[in-house]
């Protein structure tokens, strides 16, 4: 019998299940079924964001499972994220309330600034000017952070954090924060171990969530011939050794590094399989071999963003 999902205690005092369901790229018409399947399988952590444009369907699934008595609201850990066009401090609370309304809840367990770069508000989520450049917000992400803190004080959000911030940007937030970030969510997988940034966050008491732990093979901008974790023969060998699938090995790899991990799937069978990682651990030699796959392979780099606060130019 598989053991219970491990939890991490955040610096806010709340606990976060270390295995959750990611909903990025989960299409309308698919995500409701995915969330229902995940809750039935035992997931209690659902990772969402405004810019995924599917929070209403996630909310429908949650409401149904609560009505069925499968879970209570307090059993669930729900994360959402503030998109870049809402960095104006005057817009932060409205954005959070919109996500809460779509999810059908009266508080969020965790709310993250999705990216450090702020965009001018408007209907275009990337705020592109006619010349293709990004129309940057006049607001600094440290101003946005102070508005995030107000959400905690009002009881709308239990824990707050950041996503895709580099060390320098994290330091600037810490320089003005009265509520320390509880979580940093970053891309982490064997081609991008992000070890320095993870260790730095840990030194500050900030938990880390690994997104795209499977290498996001279904990303819309993937090109033929690009490296694919799922097809890596070195990972296949480790998977065969443990009688597991490559995705299970990748998820276990994140857990064995002490990371919160949020694999995405909309296929009920895969959702169950991705949860079935609590009955084994990787050996030290497995961990060393997997870590050696590091090649700086960032898949989610927003290369077309021209912004003063673009985070991926620094060393970490």
| Active-site annotation holds for 211 | no
* Range list of H helices, the chain: 31-41, 55-67, 89-103, 141-153, 167-176, 195-203, 233-242, 246-256, 268-275, 284-291
The first and second tokens of residue 97, run together, are 């309330």
Under 8 Å between Cβ of 77 and 16: yes
Q: What is the Cα–Cα distance from 7 to 269, expressed in whole angstroms?
A: 24
Among the options 52, 111, 119, 191, which is catalytic? 52
Phi, psi dihedral angles at 17 (to 5 degrees): -60, 135
CA quadruple 189, 195, 200, 203: dihedral, nearest 10: 90
CA distance readout (Å), 7 to 4, 212, 259, 260, 261:
9, 20, 10, 8, 11
Under 8 Å between Cβ of 197 and 213: no
- Coil, helix or strand for 215? coil
Q: Which residue has the tokens 């090995």?
A: 249
CA nearest neighbour of 170 among 204, 146, 136, 193: 204
14-33 burial: b if 16+ Cβ within 10 Å, else e: eebbbbbbbbbebeeebbbb
DSSP state of 83: -
User: Looking at the annotation, which residues are catalytic?
Assistant: 52
């Amino acid at each position: 019998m598989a053991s219970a999902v491990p939890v991490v205690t955040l610096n806010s005092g709340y606990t976060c299940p270390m295995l959750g369901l990611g909903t990025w790229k989960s299409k309308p018409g698919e995500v409701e079924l995915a969330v229902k399947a995940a809750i039935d399988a035992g997931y209690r952590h659902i990772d969402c964001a405004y810019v995924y444009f599917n929070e209403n369907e996630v909310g429908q699934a949650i409401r149904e499972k609560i009505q069925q008595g499968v879970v209570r609201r307090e059993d669930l850990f729900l994360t959402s994220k503030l998109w870049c066009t809402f960095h104006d401090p005057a817009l932060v609370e409205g954005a959070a309330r919109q996500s809460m309304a779509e999810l059908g809840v009266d508080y969020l367990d965790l709310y993250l600034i999705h990216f450090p770069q702020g965009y001018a508000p408007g209907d275009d989520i990337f705020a592109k000017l006619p010349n293709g450049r990004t129309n940057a917000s006049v607001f600094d992400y440290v101003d946005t952070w102070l508005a995030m803190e107000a959400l905690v004080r009002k009881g709308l959000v239990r824990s707050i954090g950041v996503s895709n911030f580099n060390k320098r940007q994290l330091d600037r937030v810490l320089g003005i924060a009265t509520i320390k970030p509880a979580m940093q969510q970053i891309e982490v997988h064997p081609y991008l171990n992000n070890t320095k940034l993870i260790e730095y966050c840990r030194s500050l008491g900030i938990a880390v969530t690994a997104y795209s732990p499977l290498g996001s093979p279904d990303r819309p901008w993937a090109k033929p011939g690009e490296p694919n974790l799922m097809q890596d023969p070195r990972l296949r060998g480790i998977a065969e050794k443990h009688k597991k699938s490559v995705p299970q090995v990748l998820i276990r790899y994140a857990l064995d590094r002490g990371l919160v991990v949020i694999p995405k799937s909309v296929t009920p069978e895969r959702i169950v399989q991705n949860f079935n990682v609590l009955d084994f651990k990787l050996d030290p030699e497995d961990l060393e071999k997997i870590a050696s796959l590091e090649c700086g392979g960032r898949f989610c780099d927003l290369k077309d963003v021209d912004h003063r606060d673009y985070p991926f130019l620094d060393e970490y």
